Amino acid sequence: MSNLSFYVHIPYCLRRCGYCDFNTYTPSELSITSELTKISQTYLDLVLQEIDFARSQSTAVSVPSIFFGGGTPTLMAPTDLGRVLATISDRFELTPDAEITIEANPDSVSKESLSRLREVGFNRISFGMQSAVPHVLASLDRTHNPDNVMRAVMWAKESGFEELSVDLIYGAPGESVSDWRTSIEAALSLPITHISAYALIVEDGTKLSNQVRRGEVVIPDDDETADKYLLADELLELAGFHWYELSNWSKHGSESRHNLRYWNGENWWGAGPGAHSHLDGRRFWNVKHPDAYAQRILKTGDPKADEEYTEPSQKWNEELMLKIRLAQGLPQSFFPPEKMNSLLGYLAEGDLDQNAWSVGKVVLTRTGRLIADRIVREFAM
Amino acid sequence: MPAIPIASAPQPSQTSPLQIRNFCIIAHIDHGKSTLADRMLGITEVVEQRNMRAQYLDRMDIERERGITIKSQAVRLPWRSGIDGQEYILNMIDTPGHVDFTYEVSRSLAACEGAVLLVDCAQGIEAQTLANLYLAMENNLTIIPVLNKIDLPAAQPEKFSEELAKLIGCEPEDCLRVSGKTGVGVTELLDQIVRQIPAPTGDPDAPTRALIFDSVYDTYRGVVTYVRVKDGHLTTRDQIQMFSTGVRHEMLEVGVISPEPVISRGLGVGEVGYVITGVKDVRQSRVGDTITTHNNPAKIALSGYKDPRPMVFSGLFPLDGADFPLLREALDKLQLNDAALVYEPESSAALGFGFRCGFLGLLHMEIVRERLERESNLVLISTAPNVVYSVTTGDGELITVTNPSEYPDSKIEKVEEPIVRATVLAPSEFIGTIMELCQERRGVLLGMDYLSEDRVEIRYTLPLAEIVFDFFDQLKSRTRGYASLDYEPIGEAVGDLVKVDILLQGEKVDAFSAIVHKEKAYAYGTMMTSKLRELIPRQQFEIPIQAAIGGRIIARESIRAIRKDVLAKCYGGDISRKRKLLEKQKEGKKRMKMVGRVEVPQEAFVAALTTDADIDKAKAKAKERE
């Protein structure tokens, strides 16, 4: 019996942050004039249809995890989100311990909405905290007051969420190492079980990349970003959070099982505009624009834009690329014998964990993680 | 009507020397030699109007594009003198116009009795023209001074008549004024060639001696050899013999160029034409050599034969290592037509397999490189050019170094380097600038003369190595393009020279080694180390970059280790995109050259080995191709 996880994409935000290149749209971009509640209903009705389509395409029976990401999922009415969960649960079978996550903007939740989300079935919540320092939040174009995060996390806790996560971003323009320390310490003061910390990526076409190009803002150099990574890893480990993926740390047992499924090459269905799916080596993705998505769902029921089958060498590359980022690492036997010398080189440089190596595993150390892409490039076929 | 119909003109092999005039045109690039030659072809009616095209005589695309003539030509022009009404045969022997080809020029001059000194009367004489003029005067050629482009609004015929008169020792009124473009004065010039230039002399009954003044490879015909008969007679089917090699060939075809090949029965005293023997390589029919007949060989060769000696060496490497066989093939092909080009395989740790090539000079090098790239569709990296050094080691051994890698590590007694005598002509306002440049380049002033009120000739001895290293570009840019340069080798001199090596992480990078003057070693070292620091991407370890003379480090830089090379996010939707990105980067990595453990992008080599001037040229070229 095979498993299938679900990712549900909510392609809406009230406003777009300067660094964001996700597939998300503001009401003005879509010329939407109707009420949010109306959008929530209409859009999630389409998602329900895609779930039926997924049912027809997959032989899977049980669903071990569901993840609502965006965009801003908390802009949707909890009732509508609940209808999606109920439909998945109806067409498939939720495993008893299924992990059901929603990404939340600290500004778009209330004590009531969080209770409602818990009631309709969500058991894990991930807040976009980004930073605890106002000038850093401003440079990221985020509007929330840092204190809102504390309040939202407390409400979530009171609503019965036990798995609580926050996202942090480091390396924003103007962020000092001590600003970053402040943000980590603020996050650690919350009753959370999980932290994701991402180095800011300046993506082409974003407002931020234009500002950088015009010289209006300066991105801290890679060495400083590396220092921030090391600082985060050190402080989080000290606080009892262990790294399990390059940018993810958790209390024991609180790893995101949904995300681990991506990294372990399991099957999942991505519903919504631009969402990607993976079924047994086949990767496919939906049309990106919400209007195009709506049309396709209503006309044919199949919103797929394109697909690809990975060849064995590509599959190997993917596995390398994903699992080398994990604390579980890869077995030495994964690598062809002629690569052993190169691996030994990294071991000698301190980029591979000595203890893991002695039990036949290839696991990156703190410094090794910082050059993970270089290592992948070296070994990729 | 001074033109004579070809059919009724004196025929080759039966023309009396008294009716022959052999001349060449000495001119600088752009001074209108090809246009004047075109005009002469038209007026003598050897080319019909409808077949005329611009720069008729320049054969290669490169010649046409650059407006220079690399190889000489000889055209037979029948002409009835407007002065005495007699029929004549004018043989116009074209000469290469560049410093690298001085020897070929000297052989062309040796085939003539007279020379037309052609000067653009808006610009005045240039250094290379002056050098060739001196060469012609040494050969006792009759010089006819001609001012060209008198139709130009900027023409200053009075000023430049004075200048030419002073140089040649004639009266300013003796300078003819023509316009190749409009044809004004060209008929008179042809008449003056007949009147002023002496007829060739020679003994028709003596053993045959013919001077080879050019030798060209033709895909269909094999080598076409251009000759001037001094004594005796060349006849089809003769067994001929090359003086320098003693090798015998059968003469398959003899003819003249008018301006298309016309087969004749032979060539008599004073005549100019071509012979074809079926040889496939210009080395077997060398410029300057004497042809005689096997049956009745001459005892003494015509004087002046020299083996072409490469003066400048550079490594040529294909950018794509797989193109090495293609490069070899292209060089082999080019060599058939270029007796001066020498090469041997070379391997560089950094650049892979290529060839060490020897050239007559910088222009020759540039032309060869361009032809290789163009005709064989290759992309080449060339290492910095260097000259030939004679190194005497501590134990008295003499080593000839054409490549810095051959420079001995052992104790060195002395190093000798080629020295040239350089002549610069420029407006007098640039005297200071030019002298400053020459002093920087270890020049010794020989003398200075005013050609006219505001133009000077400055003479220096300079190490050739200094000229090879962007001297010409510097001269041009510091004088806003007004200065011209000529140089000729005059021997060797001991120099205070050292070899500077560049080390990456302690490994010597052969392509970056250079032999430089001791006082410039530090500047070279810091220039290269800082250039490389910019060009080589950071890697996972620190990379020291050092410049060293032997074991002594004279400059150092370092590239800090890269500490972060990872993208923070990789979720479901990122996987395909990220895998493709990594695979693409992996492909890019294959194009890296490894120096020890250091990955050096090919572009870094190219950029480190090229000067800013080269980059500008490459950009201009790229733009042209767009």
Is some CB atom of chain A closer than 8 A to the CB atom of B220? no
B576: which chain A residues are within 8 Å (Cβ-Cβ)? 276, 283, 285, 308
Mutate to test the interface with B, among A222, A307, A316, A347 (most CBs of B within 10 A): A222
| Closest C-alpha among B17, B10, B35, B14 to residue B25 | B35
Is some CB atom of chain A closer than 8 A to the CB atom of B587? no
CB contact under 8 A, B567 and A201: yes
Going by pLDDT thresholds of 50, 70 and 90, the confidence category of residue B624 is: very low
CB contact under 8 A, B576 and A283: yes
The closest CB to that of A373, out of B541, B567, B573, belongs to B567
Tell me how far apart the alpha carbons of residues B134 and B140 are, in angstroms, rounded to a whole number: 10
pLDDT at B581 over 80: yes
Report helix angle A222-238 to A177-188, nearest 10.
30
CA distances for A66 relative to A45, A63, A183, A185, B73, angstroms: 17, 8, 29, 30, 85
pLDDT at B64 over 80: no
pLDDT at B68: 42
In eight-state DSSP terms, residue A364 is B
Mean pLDDT of chain B: 87
Q: Which residue of A has its CA nearest to B584?
A: A377
Mutate to test the interface with B, among A126, A323, A370 (most CBs of B within 10 A): A370
CA distance A262 to chain B (A): 6
Structure tokens at B583: 């695979």
For the segment B168-186, what is each residue's pLDDT rounded down to a tens digit? 989 998 999 999 999 999 9
- Complex ipTM: 0.90
Q: Count of CB contacts below 8 A, A vs B?
A: 97
CA distance A237 to chain B (A): 18
CA distance B566 to chain A (A): 5
For the segment B461-505, what is each residue's pLDDT rounded down to a tens digit? 999 999 987 788 889 889 888 888 888 889 999 999 999 999 999
For the segment A256-304, what is each residue's pLDDT rounded down to a tens digit? 999 999 999 999 999 999 999 999 989 999 999 999 999 999 999 999 9
CA distances for B442 relative to B160, B401, B478, angstroms: 33, 21, 17
Contacts of residue B271, defined as CB under 8 A and 6 or more positions apart, other chains included, come to: B12, B13, B15, B20, B89, B91, B228, B229, B256
pLDDT at B287: 87
For the segment B197-234, what is each residue's pLDDT rounded down to a tens digit? 999 999 999 999 999 998 888 878 888 899 999 999 99
| Closest C-alpha among B302, B274, B272, B269 to residue B18 | B269
The closest CB to that of A276, out of B541, B564, B573, belongs to B573
CA distance B600 to chain A (A): 15
User: Are A246 and A226 in contact, with CB atoms under 8 Å apart?
Assistant: no
Tell me how far apart the alpha carbons of residues B381 and B612 are, in angstroms, rounded to a whole number: 15
pLDDT at B120 over 80: yes
**What kind and span of H or E run contains B20?**
strand B20-27
Helix, strand or coil for residue B292? strand
A350: which chain B residues are within 8 Å (Cβ-Cβ)? none
pLDDT at A164 over 70: yes
Q: Give the mean model confidence (pLDDT) for residues B135-164.
A: 92
Backbone Cα Rg of chain B: 28
Is some CB atom of chain A closer than 8 A to the CB atom of B567? yes
**CA angle (B555, B559, B563) in 5-degree steps:** 160
pLDDT at B127 over 90: no
CA distance A199 to chain B (A): 6
Q: Which residue of B has its CA nearest to A256?
A: B571
* Structure-model confidence comparison of residues A37 and A80, the more confident one: A80
Q: Give the mean model confidence (pLDDT) for residues A13-36.
A: 85
Domains of chain A, with CATH numbers?
Answer: 5-263 (3.20.20.70), 313-379 (no CATH)
Structure tokens at B415: 């190093």
Going by pLDDT thresholds of 50, 70 and 90, the confidence category of residue A32 is: confident
pLDDT at A376 over 50: yes
pLDDT at B59: 53
Going by pLDDT thresholds of 50, 70 and 90, the confidence category of residue B20 is: very high
